[in-house]
Amino acid sequence: MTVVLDMDECLLHSKFHGPGAASEAYRQLEERPDAVNEVNSFWVALDDGDTAQVNKRPGLDPFLEALARDYNTIVFTAAMPDYAGPVLDYIDPKGTLFHRRLYRSSCRQVKGAFLKDLSVLGVESTDMSRTVLVDNNPLSFICQPTNGILVASFYDDPNDTALASVMQLIRHLDQAGDVRPILKDMFRLDTLLGEYRTALFDDDDDADVDCILDDDDEEEEDLLEGCLEAGQQERAEAAAAPGGDEKGLLLDVLVAEEEQQQQEEGSANGDGQQQLQGEDVECLKDDDDDESVKTEACSEGSGDSSLGDESLTSREEMELELEF
> Is 8 among the residues known to form the active site?
yes
d(CA 110, CA 201): 8
Report whether 255 contacts 138 (CB < 8 A): no
Active site annotation includes 48: no
Q: Could you tell me which residues come within 8 angstroms of residue 185 by beta carbon, excluding any fewer than 6 positions away?
A: 274, 309
DSSP per position, 231-293 = TTHHHHHHHHSTT--TTHHHHHHHHHHHHHHHHHH-GGGTTT--PPTT-----SS-TT--SS-
Of 8, 135, 252, 309, catalytic = 8
Residue 179: closest CA among 150, 152, 139, 149: 149
Burial degree of 189 (CB within 10 A; 0-12, 13-18, 19+): buried
Catalytic residue numbers read 6, 8
